[in-house]
A and B are shown apart, each in its own frame.
Chain A
Amino acid sequence: MSWSPQSLRQQFPILQRQIHGHALHYLDNAATTFSPECVQAAMSRYESHYRSNVQRGVYQLGAESTEAYEGARLSAATYLNARSDEEIIFTPGTTFSVNLVAHCFGQSLEPGDEILVSLGEHHSNFIPWQYLCAQRGIEMKLIPVLANGSLDLSQLDELITHRCRMVAVSHISNVTGSITDLDCITAAAHRQGALVFIDGAQAAPHGPIDVQTLDVDFYAFSGHKAYGPTGVGVLWGRQELLEKLPPFLTGGGMIERVTAQETRYMSGNRRFEAGTPPVAQAIGLGAALDWLMTLPWQDIRPYEQRLSRQLMQGLLKIEGLNLLGEHSLVHRAPIFSFDIAGCHSHDVCQILDDYGVALRGGHHCAQPLMDALGLVATSRASIAVFNNEDDIDALLIALNKVLEVLR
């Protein structure tokens, strides 16, 4: 595929918007990114040509929607290099996926068992485990963080004991952008017989994932961060594990037979898709993943690194700015959180908006991490494939304007 940043940008009509008289410089992609025209077209085609329920109808429209929905499942399986599309569950998003695994896997746990989570997790990969532990008398252990917010894995072998049943960590931190050393974690977890759940919400947008090479047991990500629609996500699980888990939600679409006395559930992934699924969203996500798989990542990754270097160098020149994560592009995704002494992130982001620059300010749903770092909130810039040098320049220029106002 021939590729240039400009040709990519043309696929995102939303980038034509003007904000307060300025070009839009959208750098909140870690929260929600935009979807290219092909994703919108796929969803529009479903709505206007064959909108109908899946799995049941014998008529033409039903067959077409089922084919598109299952095609999206195959796209997700291919994107993750799953062994089979039967390992793919469509969910409403990563939060739901974590809750599903925590609840279903948690049924088998007993007091004295342990779950290991990191202090750096997004609340979505923290609270479901915390809740599970409180409900079932399980101990929740925490991987600490270094002063810059990256995970401190130096005590991993002590933290993962023979009572550990699950290690749940993010592939990439939504705050620091640090890429987790999953090799180290999976090896330590599997040595003790523990499973590994990965929150891949921030990793999936940055190119195809290989769950087999990662050697993890569950992997989840959301559509809206991966150029797809909101309201849909993917949970991948090893088929042999999915076969053993009890259902999460029950209802139509996940049964083999229902009698007045009892219900026999479908096996594997189908057991976890009760009710009418988010058909249009899943088809949109499938289109997004197909689109991502056409991108020349061998060219895009250096491009993202170039933008990251430009941004990091500019940020580090600002007096009083504390950039979280390692000040290096090694093991770092293009997510940059920073705190400016004397300037609260909400005030920073409010004024940046005046210049068309969209950044996220706040705790980023990572309050345990903020507490560990002694911070209340940070400003976060996160780069997507459609961002360019102008976006980075606009942010750095606007940040200087912010300082003139707030200092």
Chain B
Amino acid sequence: MSSGMYVDGIKALASSNSTPKSLARPDQSASVDNPFCGDRIDLDTNIEKGRLTALAHEVRGCMLCHASANGLGESAIGLSREEIDFVSAELTAMLKGEKHNVWPPAGWEFLALFEPVAGHKSRHGCVTLPFKALLEALA
């Protein structure tokens, strides 16, 4: 059942416009597709001293992907690639039902909204796609 997947928190996050669609002078960019559904995210970043200083993205995807991307945009600024990789791994572990260290990670409380997605394997990629794109941009 999808109950819990489309709660107000997810809907609000998906429709928030807090993250710009592109940066004027990105340091690194990535364009990543979810081959299963065709969702796509184009993402720009600015980095200073190994830490993310600005993030922009344009999502062509479902509500879960939009919500995940917007939450990421609001929470990832100031972090290093390693710190974002840690959060991404925690998110993936939660979705797969595997053991994770801290849930939700500090500063990433919005990720708890995605817990109902864990039971829907075909939708995991919708939530993780923005993280995959950001890690690719920061690689």
Inter-subunit contact B2/A362 (CB<8 Å): no
Pairwise interchain contact A350-B38, C-beta atoms closer than 8 A: no
Is the pair B1, A344 in contact by a Cβ cutoff of 8 Å? no
Q: Given contacts A344-B62, A347-B62, A406-B6, are A354 and B1 in contact (CB under 8 A)? A: yes
For A407, the closest partner residue in chain B by CB is B11
Docked complex: B1-49 residues within 8 A CB-CB of A: 1-3, 5-6, 11, 36-40
Q: Which residue of A lies closest to B40 (CB)?
A: A376
Across the interface, which residues of B come within 8 angstroms of A354, CB to CB?
A: 1-3
Closest residue of chain B to A377 (Cβ to Cβ) is: B38
- Contact of B6 (CB < 8 Å), options: A20, A363, A405: A405
Q: Which of A344, A376, A406 has the most CB of B within 10 A?
A: A344
Closest residue on chain B to residue A345 by CB atoms: B62
With the chains together, A90 CA to B60 CA distance in Å? 39
Q: Flag if A370 contacts B38 (CB, 8 Å).
A: yes
Contact of B5 among A345, A350, A363, A370 (CB under 8 A): A350
User: A362, B37: Cβ atoms under 8 Å?
Assistant: yes
* Chain A nearest CB, measured from B31 CB (Å): 14
In the bound complex, residues from chain A placing their C-beta under 8 Å from that of B63 are 344, 347, 406
Is A92 interfacial (CB 8 A cutoff)? Answer: no
**A370 cross-chain contacts in B, Cβ below 8 A:** 38
Closest CB in chain B relative to A149 CB, distance in Å? 16
Secondary structure type dominating chain B contacts = loop
A326 within 8 A of B: no
Expressed in whole angstroms, the minimum distance between the Cβ of B67 and any Cβ of chain A is 11
Chain B: minimal CB distance from A363 (Å): 4
Q: Which residues of B contact A406 (CB under 8 A)?
A: 6, 11, 63
Chain B residues within 8 Å of A180, by CB: none
Q: Which residues of B contact A376 (CB under 8 A)?
A: 38-40, 60-61
Bound Cα distance A406, B15 (Å) = 11
Is A353 on the interface with B (CB-CB < 8 A)? Answer: yes
* Cβ B62 vs Cβ A346 within 8 A: yes
CB within 8 Å: A-B pair count: 45
Whole-angstrom distance between the Cβ of B39 and the nearest chain A Cβ = 7
* B126 lies within 8 A of chain A by Cβ: yes
Tell me whether A367 is interfacial, beta carbon within 8 Å: yes
Is the CB of A223 closer than 8 A to any CB of chain B?
Answer: no
Partner of A350, one of B2, B40, B60, B61: B2
Q: Is the CB of A351 within 8 A of B6?
A: yes
A361 at the A/B interface (Cβ < 8 Å)? yes
User: Are B37 and A347 in contact, CB atoms less than 8 angstroms apart?
Assistant: no
- A367 to B60: give the CA distance in the assembly, Å: 13
Per-residue CB contact flags for chain A residues 364-399 toward chain B (1 = under 8 Å, else 0) read 000100100000110000000000000000000000
Total interface residues on A, using CB and 8 Å? 18
Residue B123 is within 8 A (CB to CB) of chain A in the complex: yes
Q: Which residues of B contact A405 (CB under 8 A)?
A: 6
Per-residue 0/1 for A58-88: is the Cβ within 8 Å of any B Cβ (1 yes, 0 no)? 0000000000000000000000000000000
The reply to whether the CB of B64 lies closer than 8 angstroms to some CB of chain A is yes
Closest to A364 in B: B38
Complex contacts, A20 vs chain B, CB 8 Å: 1
Does B120 make an interface contact (CB < 8 A)? yes
For the complex, give the distance between the alpha carbons of A405 and B3 in Å.
10
B residues in contact with A345, CB < 8 Å: 62
| Chain B: minimal CB distance from A216 (Å) | 30
Q: How far is the CB of B22 from chain A (nearest CB, A)?
A: 18
Contact present for A347 and B38 (CB under 8 Å): no
Residue of A whose beta carbon sits closest to that of B65: A344
Q: Which A residues lie within 8 Å of B36 (CB)?
A: 362
Given the interface pairs A351-B6, A405-B6, the reply to whether A346 lies near B37 with Cβ below 8 Å is yes
Tell me the bound Cα distance from A347 to B63 in angstroms.
7
- List chain B residues, Cβ under 8 A from A353: 2
* B residues in contact with A362, CB < 8 Å: 36-38
The residue of chain B having its C-beta at the shortest distance from the C-beta of A353 within the complex is: B2
Contacting B at CB under 8 A, from A330-356, are: 344-347, 350-351, 353-354
Flag if B38 contacts A363 (CB, 8 Å): yes
In A117-140, which residues have CB < 8 Å from any B CB? none
CA of A346 to CA of B37 in the docked complex: distance in angstroms?
Answer: 8
28 A/B residue pairs, CB under 8 Å, sorted by A: A20-B1, A344-B61, A344-B62, A345-B62, A346-B37, A346-B39, A346-B62, A347-B6, A347-B62, A350-B2, A350-B5, A350-B123, A351-B2, A351-B6, A353-B2, A354-B1, A354-B3, A361-B37, A362-B36, A370-B38, A376-B38, A376-B39, A376-B60, A376-B61, A377-B38, A377-B39, A405-B6, A406-B6
B interface with A by C-beta (< 8 Å): 1-3, 5-6, 11, 36-40, 60-64, 120, 123, 126
Closest 7 CB pairs of A and B: A363-B38, A344-B62, A346-B62, A376-B60, A350-B2, A347-B63, A362-B37
Can you add 10 more A-B contacts, CB < 8 Å, to A344-B61, A350-B5?
Answer: A20-B1, A345-B62, A353-B2, A354-B2, A362-B36, A367-B38, A376-B39, A377-B38, A405-B6, A406-B6
